[in-house]
Amino acid sequence: MKDNKIVVFLIAAVGLLIVPLIAQQFGNAWVRIIDIALLYLLLALGLNIVVGYAGLLDLGYVAFYAVGAYTMGLLASGHLTETFPAIAAAFPEGLHVPILLVIPLAAGVAGLAGVLLGAPTLRLRGDYLAIVTLGFGEIIRVFLNNLDHPVNITNGPKGIGPIDPMHLFGFSLGERHELFGLDIPVVTNYYYLFLALVIISVVICYRLERSRIGRAWMAIREDEIAAKAMGINTRNMKLLAFGMGATFGGVAGVMFGGYQSFITPEAFSLPESVMIVAMVVLGGIGHIPGVVVGALLLAALPEVLRYVAGPLQQMTDGRLDASILRQLLIALAMIAIMLSRPRGLWPSPEHGRAAVVPDETPHQHLEPSEQIPPTVTAIAPTVK
């Protein structure tokens, strides 16, 4: 059995390594679709910590994505040196912080933002928590849109760019390379970086799920009052869930900024946040394989449907708009999936089995006065 698992892992590893090499034979656009899907998968894994493990409905998760992207934009571009003469004097060639420093800084800033969001929402649950987090996400977007005066920090709706391409250990991801006679374009370079981050994130999520912290989150998700009665510090656990989930969003934002080389506030709107929540719910809340399937499906589906909506528009002589038709097809696909799989495409397995009632109870041969009352018999297993 162990040998079979090793063989499966090796086959999966080889498949993941050659996927972009095969996809680029049909055009770099397909590799770009896979890259964006991996970015969304990184976001969905982070949101799964908040929604899936701790049971906290967060509709403003895209705010942490924006925090990470703008951290990358400010630290890896010439925007701050153009705005602040003091920074320009200290860094005459521009402020170009290495990516290995930007990633932990962005993760820390996003994690702090997650804790600040979670602090005033500790007593809120369900719909009320969703509304507050939704407002937080919109506040961040509005701030990014308006922080261009009186001091130009975010450059407002114009966005920040160009952002430096990423360099890892002297290897530039923003340039084409040749390996063993194979042409490796820029989108393929970023694929391997995103894939490495996703694998690291999956390992972290699995470790968290099986740790004492993960079990505490799940206890809060199932019954917060019972978890508090068992001695779990629900306040600290909730803040930790918000902070841990936000760090994933911050790292994904850094990757997005370096990949696109340009960011604007419109890239972090409410539909983006709703789409990330839909990935977690569609795949299977709290189940990592399900989240992976849901994120890859919903991230790739809109791009793939571009090739379906175009011919349909031509068949109707242009009477149907391709973008609207594509959104309609996405919505219909999501409705069909949720109607056929209410718990998600790959839900977490059911724990426990139904109690088997024996044919003969232990007190059957006792005298009537010595028999245990039926109500006590029914309650005892629950108390135990």
Domain ranges for the chain: 29-269
Number of Cβ within 10 Å of residue 112's Cβ equals: 15
State mean pLDDT over 323-337: 84
E strands in 129-220:
167-168, 171-172, 177-179, 182-184
Higher pLDDT, 363 or 347: 347
Q: What is the mean pLDDT of residues 357-372?
A: 48
Distance CA 299, CA 37 (A): 5
Cα–Cα distance, 142 to 115 (Å, whole number): 20
CA pair distance 54, 224, nearest whole angstrom: 10
361: pLDDT confidence band, cut at 50, 70 and 90? Answer: very low
pTM of the complete model: 0.87
Per-residue pLDDT at 97 exceeds 80 = yes
pLDDT at residue 1 in the model? 62
Query: What does the pLDDT average to over 127-146?
Result: 92
Conformation bin of residue 182: beta by default, left when phi > 0, alpha when psi is -120 to 50: beta
Angle between helices 28-48 and 2-23 (to 10 degrees): 130
What value does the mean pLDDT take over residues 207-218? 94
User: Would the pLDDT of 206 be above 90?
Assistant: yes
Predicted local distance difference test score (pLDDT) of residue 363:
47
Is residue 289 pLDDT above 80, yes or no?
yes
Look at residue 3 in the predicted model and tell me its pLDDT: 67
**Tell me, what's the pLDDT at 142?**
94
Contact 99, 172 (CB under 8 A): no
Half-sphere exposure of 129 (CA within 13 A, CB side): 19
Where is pLDDT greater, at 304 or 76? 76
Strand partners for 177: 184
Is residue 42 pLDDT above 90, yes or no? Answer: yes
Residue 327 has pLDDT above 90, yes or no: no
DSSP symbol at 56: -
